[in-house]
Structure 1
């Protein structure tokens, strides 16, 4: 099929790396949007970064909702390509993009209208709350760009063309890097300038995706972006993507609760440690997510083509790669937590508080990467429910666990330990579940 890559033949390791490296780079670029904002906003002080961090949880929630369309494209378009059904691949892509636009407009309107009641959950000081509300309202109007770009990314990943999202998002990052200091300090707009810089960068990324698909016709000729939703495609997209979006969204709700608890225990420094620490931890998360996404696309095509041996070999290869990187991140976080945090927030009290978070969180990095890698296999074979059940159950266990540890007088470290323990549990349970169903799930397709 024009513009797509066949992943059912050829050397597995090279294909995984070729597919995974641009995906990881794209994930790091997307993460760098937030880190760039925080690095510059951190120079305004811990109060400003706490305001941006409180919105960061909501943008994370938005990204989680957008996974419905990303995973819906990666699995459905990928399986259609593997089955050599070009028309189905085109229809899945068009229906997915249409769904992305509808969902983003609705969700963006909710965040814009209810910005203040939502931010008030954190019980921040009034002037910090005002900064956060303004930041959130600006960011909420950019969500259609974010959701459409996420849907485009899933489509390109499924087609084996992961270098294109990497290049486009790279241009967006450069735009953000240039605009941040100019708007934050040059024009003196502070956190508002950071929000506008991100808005402009996201808009550019979205329009570049449209250019690649419509003008350059990189995947298909005469591709239709928006269409009347057809039940057979829309239902399948929702069925595949909704469990993933749901458990990631519920995860964001858990983080909102933990953010409020951290604010109660440590003021704006506690909230800052959780939100900024979570962004730093995304280094590990995005690496494993990159490999898992590549694995998902690879598995989707080979599973549909009944290449079970290639599915298993790719799974084992990816596990080894993520284990090695997870071990490295564990060492860095535990040994150099303060130093890493000080890059983003130079205030001594702030980076010492954040350093404790990274040291405790470091113990779970290998298990987090294990969980996300195995998720890639589940997604590729179209079974998105098991990872959702595991994630939702363990993530919501963080709430009573954090409250228990706080009641024991552990303070902020008690909240951090609830995160580490449950992340470890998720990795172990995910591995056990996959081993239990592996033979039946793959042998069924091979029959």
Structure 2
């Protein structure tokens, strides 16, 4: 750990010397961390699935709520990562330190706000999403417990974002991964041994996230293991730094909120077909994570690398790095998509033994896997914009995909033309196709503009 002290500048030199290697240095720890988290989500769903279809549906209704909270945190975290990376690239450590302090304070305020809102409006939120009867009761039982963990989770994301900005993705992997393993151990104890059911699953999550936060605090403030340092006694609010973080973070957060709200609308649309349909969607959503795992990890590397290269005035490295990353993401998308298509029934059977739910999940998987190559391109391109210090393109692309295409199309096909669940899944795929084409074109034009600006400056 001590070797990490002062390592931010050394990482920049390494990344400039070998950008392709840097993609994997940054993305592999993220990939491993997401793999552990995905494994937990799958195991968690399997455990809850043993409690019955209503419990599965209750957990599914909670998924977009958690995604909403974490989406805001990850969005603001992306802003912090981008800003810190650009300051380190420009050799401005004072501003990098100040940006890290801003990031933690924003995370603290955001976490407190979400806990308060969740505790006060828990029943109204689930009712709005379409939960009723036993599903509403179980969903509330889960939500009112897991909500207290939002503060811990959001602060953990803030710490991870700061470390990501200086090019350290290994430490967050170790700390977050250990928490996930604790969660996996506590799940069966609380759910079955102590007979707590869905509340036990929520409590296991809260305890594990609290332990992760304690380890982050110890590493950053006691061991001082980060390149950026925190000096809260001398903290000076900076409108410039705050605006720089929000320029990327606010649109990124709104994008994640739109995706979360979109998920809520999807649940609402699908709930018209019954609790089995919602449970099938939940299983499909958990399996989606196996695709998003490597693609998001590769895309995350672009925020740090593009940010550092811009700060260091090495824009000549950006285009080749982005192209390399997109092609590798496509390989993952195609391989995973084919595997999902072939083994969909077997994968769905991991979560439940109810044939109706399995059939619905298989239908979802076999449609959405066809969109994986298009979604991969859009995800990587969105992170490139964040690295460049611009969050609006990602927001506009997300709005187009969900607000203007996917949700309206799914609603129209099912409620006005009487089509079934397959129409909802097809709406997902169509929206991914259109936005990926636009994303590639937009990134190409934006990079060309950046290259021209640098060329004019040097001339």
Taking structure 1 as the reference length, what is the TM-score of the superposition? 0.96
State how far apart, in whole Å, the 2-side matches of 1:345 and 1:442 are: 52
**In the alignment, what sits opposite 2:225?**
218
2:379 paired with 1:401 = no
Alpha-carbon offset, residue 328 of structure 1: 0.8
**In the alignment, what sits opposite 1:45?**
52
2:205 paired with 1:198 = yes
**In the alignment, what sits opposite 2:83?**
76
Alpha-carbon offset, residue 111 of structure 1: 1.3
2:439 paired with 1:430 = yes
Equivalent residues in 2 for 1:221-300, closer than 5 Å = 223-224=230-231, 227=235, 229-264=237-272, 266-300=273-307
Alpha-carbon offset, residue 228 of structure 1: 6.1
Alpha-carbon offset, residue 286 of structure 1: 2.5
**In the alignment, what sits opposite 2:70?**
63
SS of 1:9's equivalent? helix
Cα 1:203–1:228 shift into 2, 3 Å: farther
**In the alignment, what sits opposite 2:370?**
363
Q: Which shows bigger deviation, 375-384 or 357-366?
A: 375-384
* Deviations 1:362-382, CA, capped at 9 Å, x for gaps: 110001111011112111111
- Which of the numbers 412, 421, 426 marks the counterpart of 2:430? 421
Alpha-carbon offset, residue 222 of structure 1: 5.8
Q: Which shows bigger deviation, 217-226 or 415-424?
A: 217-226
* Deviations 1:257-307, CA, capped at 9 Å, x for gaps: 11011010x211111222331221022122111111112201110111111
State how far apart, in whole Å, the 2-side matches of 1:328 and 1:230 are: 46
Is the 1:116–1:133 Cα contact (8 Å) retained in structure 2? yes
Is the 1:32–1:173 Cα contact (8 Å) retained in structure 2? no
Is the 1:78–1:297 Cα contact (8 Å) retained in structure 2? yes
Aligned-residue RMSD, C-alpha: 1.6
SS of 1:410's equivalent? coil
- Which of the numbers 290, 313, 317 marks the counterpart of 1:310? 317
Is the 1:40–1:181 Cα contact (8 Å) retained in structure 2? yes
State how far apart, in whole Å, the 2-side matches of 1:84 and 1:52 are: 46
* Deviations 1:327-382, CA, capped at 9 Å, x for gaps: 01211222222211111223222111111000011110001111011112111111
2:134 paired with 1:127 = yes
Alpha-carbon offset, residue 117 of structure 1: 0.8
Unpaired runs of 5+ in structure 1?
none
Alpha-carbon offset, residue 121 of structure 1: 2.1
Is the 1:75–1:297 Cα contact (8 Å) retained in structure 2? yes
Alpha-carbon offset, residue 8 of structure 1: 4.6
State how far apart, in whole Å, the 1-side matches of 2:191 and 2:396 are: 42
Q: Which shows bigger deviation, 317-326 or 302-311?
A: 302-311
- Which of the numbers 86, 94, 101 marks the counterpart of 1:94? 101
Regions of 4+ moved over 6 Å: none
Alpha-carbon offset, residue 102 of structure 1: 0.4
**In the alignment, what sits opposite 2:7?**
3
**In the alignment, what sits opposite 1:142?**
149
State how far apart, in whole Å, the 1-side matches of 2:243 and 2:388 are: 17
Aligned residues: 446
Alpha-carbon offset, residue 409 of structure 1: 2.8
Cα 1:230–1:404 shift into 2, 3 Å: same
Is the 1:69–1:150 Cα contact (8 Å) retained in structure 2? no
SS of 1:237's equivalent? helix
Is the 2:378–2:439 Cα contact (8 Å) retained in structure 1? yes
Alpha-carbon offset, residue 326 of structure 1: 0.6
SS of 2:277's equivalent? helix
Taking structure 2 as the reference length, what is the TM-score of the superposition? 0.94
**In the alignment, what sits opposite 1:377?**
384
Alpha-carbon offset, residue 315 of structure 1: 0.7
Unpaired runs of 5+ in structure 2?
none
2:117 paired with 1:110 = yes
Q: Which shows bigger deviation, 283-292 or 241-250?
A: 283-292
Cα 1:34–1:112 shift into 2, 3 Å: farther
Alpha-carbon offset, residue 225 of structure 1: 5.8
State how far apart, in whole Å, the 1-side matches of 2:252 and 2:454 are: 23
Q: Which shows bigger deviation, 217-226 or 363-372?
A: 217-226
Is the 2:146–2:202 Cα contact (8 Å) retained in structure 1? yes
State how far apart, in whole Å, the 2-side matches of 1:207 and 1:10 are: 36
State how far apart, in whole Å, the 2-side matches of 1:223 and 1:436 are: 38
Alpha-carbon offset, residue 9 of structure 1: 2.5
Alpha-carbon offset, residue 220 of structure 1: 4.2
Alpha-carbon offset, residue 33 of structure 1: 3.8
